[in-house]
Amino acid sequence: MKLELDIIPLADWFPGFQKPLLIAGPCSAESEEQMLDTGRQIAAFYPNSIFRAGIWKPRTRPNTFEGIGDIGLKWMKAVKEQTGLLTATEVANAEHVEKCLKAGVDILWIGARTTVNPFSVQDIADALKGVDIPIFVKNPINPDLQLWAGALERVNNAGIKKLAAIHRGFHSFDNSPFRNSPKWELAIELKTACPQLPMICDPSHISGKPELIPYIAQKAMDLDMDGLMIETHNDPSVALSDAKQQVKPFQLKEIIDDINIRSSTIDDPDFRDKLDELRAIIRKLDNDLLELLSKRMAISRQIGEYKRDNSVTILQVAHWKKLFEESLSTGNVLGLPEEFVKGMYQLIHDESIRRQTEVMNFKKNTPGK
Ligand code: PEP
Ligand code: MN
C-alpha cells in the first residue's frame, strides 16, 4: 500500500516526548469530580501525559448513556488548569470540532465508528482547515486498511501535520480472548507504508478487560509503536460506559512501570553484526521457503490436470483431512503451534485449489484452445 503523508514528527510538537506517549483518562466524562480526581492521580505519576475523556459517545443503541455533552468541555478545561495535563476528546462531526476548538481542547481524535464513514471524516477535515491542532485517527471498526489510510489522508489534506494513528483493534467474528481483534499485521502494514506516521495503541478497546492490557501494551511497544491510550477511571465499578475495561490510576501506574521499552535503533557494532548475520540466514531460509512453495504449486497444477483428464473433483475431503492432520502433528513435533500450522495450511490449500480450478476450467471456458 502507498501512503504519502506530510507529517511533523511527534518529538517536534509534543513537549518532552518520551515513549510511551500516554493518553489516559475515563472512557466518558461523567462529573467534574470524576474528571479532576482521575486527572490529578494520573498527573501525579505521569505529568507528561494527555488526559482523555469522551464528551459525546457513539453508542450502538439509543437510550443508553450517550455522553455528558457540552458541560464536559468545562470540566476538561478545569482538568487542564488544575493538573497541567494536555486534554483530548473524540469528535464525530464538524460541530464537535468547533465546540472543542472554542473550549481549548488540545488534541482531537476521530473514533472507530467515524473513520468508517468518509463523508463524516471529510466534514471533520473541512472543519479543521486552517487549524493547528494534533489529530489522532483511530482505525475503522472493520479491518479495512484503505479506510484508515483514507481518513488520515483526508485530515492531512486539510493541512493537519500533527497527525497520528490509533490502533484499537477490529471487529471480528472469530472466537478470541479480545474484545476487538488486534490484527497487528494491519497496524504493521500502515507503519510500513508510512514509517514517519506516529502510531498509538489502545489496549483498552482491544482487550476489553484490564487483565490483558499489560500484554497488549508490551506488544505494542515491541512493535515500536509510540504511545498508548488506556482508559482510566477513578472508580471503574460505577463507570457509565466501558466499565469492564477501565483501570484505576494506580493500576495504570503499575502497567506503565512494568513496560519494558526496548530500543528501536542499533548503535553497538557487535550487536549489529550478529543481527545482520541472523537476518541473512532468515533471508536465505525465506527464499528457500518461496522456492519450495513455488515447486509445490507447480505439482498442484499437475495434479489439477490429472484430475481434469480423469474427471475427478478438485476437493477430495478425506485426503485433505488426512494431509491436514498429519501436517498438524508434524508441526507439533517440530515445535510449531497448531494455530500457526493451521493458518499456513489454509493459505496453501486455498492457493492450491485456486490453481486447480484454473486448470479444470481452462478447457471449458476457452473452447477451441
Ligand atoms: C473510546 O475511545 O472511548 C471509543 C469510543 O473508542 P473507539 O472509537 O475505539 O470505539
Ligand atoms: Mn471507551
Give domain limits for the chain.
10-258, 269-360
Q: How far is the CA of 233 from the centre of ligand 1 (A)?
A: 15
Calculate how far, in angstroms, residue 351's C-alpha sits from the geometric centre of ligand 2: 40
Mutate to test the pocket of ligand 1, among 30, 56, 147, 168 (most ligand atoms within 8 A of CB): 168
Residue nearest to atom 10 of ligand 1 (CA): 112
Point out the ligand nearest to the CA of residue 57.
1
The number of the ligand nearest the C-alpha atom of 92 reads: 1
Residue 203 Cα to ligand 2 midpoint, Å, equals 11
Which-ligand-closest: CA of 111?
Answer: 1
Q: CA dihedral in degrees (193, 199, 203, 204; nearest 10)? A: -120
Q: According to CATH, what is the number of the domain 10-258? A: 3.20.20.70
pLDDT of residue 128: 98
Residue 21, pLDDT score: 98
Cβ pair 258, 214 in contact under 8 A:
yes
The gap from C-alpha 186 to its chain's centroid, in whole angstroms, comes to 7
Centre of ligand 2 to C-alpha 242, Å, is: 5
Facing residues of 228 across strands?
22, 201
pLDDT averaged per 10 residues, the chain (length 369)? 96 94 98 98 97 94 92 98 98 98 98 98 98 98 98 98 98 90 97 97 98 98 97 98 97 98 86 92 95 93 90 86 92 94 93 89 55
Nearest CA to ligand 1 atom 6: 111
- Rounded to the nearest whole angstrom, what is the distance from the C-alpha of residue 351 to the centroid of ligand 1? 37
CA–CA separation, 290 and 292 (whole Å): 5
Which 8-state DSSP code applies to residue 183? -
CA-proximal residue: ligand 1, atom 2 (nearest): 27
- Ligand 1: residue whose CA is nearest its atom 3: 27
Task: Give the Cα separation of 79 and 105 in Å (integer).
Answer: 11
CA of 104 to the centre of ligand 2 (A): 22
Which residue owns the Cα nearest ligand 1 atom 1? Answer: 27
For 246, residues 6+ apart whose C-beta sits below 8 A from its C-beta are 26, 27, 204, 210, 231, 232, 233, 236, 239
Report pLDDT for 329: 94
Instruction: Give the separation between CA 206 and CA 212, rounded to whole angstroms.
Output: 9
DSSP, collapsed to helix, strand or coil, labels residue 347 as helix
Got the DSSP string for 88-145? EEEE-SHHHHHHHHHHT-SEEEE-HHHHT-HHHHHHHHHHTTT----EEEEPPSSS-H
Tell me the backbone φ, ψ of residue 92, rounded to 5 degrees: -120, -10
Compute, in angstroms, the gap from residue 193 CA to the centroid of ligand 2. Answer: 28
Which pLDDT score is estimated for 15? Answer: 87
Q: Rounded CA gap, 328 and 263, in Å? A: 36
Phi then psi for residue 179, to 5 deg, are -70, -40
Residue nearest to atom 4 of ligand 1 (CA): 111
State the pLDDT at residue 212.
Answer: 97
Q: Which residues contact 87 (CB under 8 A, 6 or more apart)?
A: 50, 51, 52, 53, 76, 77, 79, 80, 104, 105, 106, 107
pLDDT, residue 363, reads 58
> Is residue 121 within 8 Å of 150, Cβ to Cβ?
yes
Which ligand is nearest the CA of 113, by number?
A: 1
Task: Copy the grid coordinates of residue 207.
Answer: 482487550
Question: Cα(55)–Cα(91) distance, rounded to whole angstroms?
Answer: 9
Ligand 1, CB cutoff 6 Å, lining residues:
27, 54, 111-113, 138, 168, 205
DSSP code of residue 269: H
- Domain 269-360: give its CATH superfamily: Chorismate mutase (1.20.59.10)
Cβ-based burial of 200 (10 A; exposed 0-12, middle 13-18, buried ≥19): buried
Q: What pLDDT, on a 0 to 100 scale, did the predictor assign at position 52?
A: 98
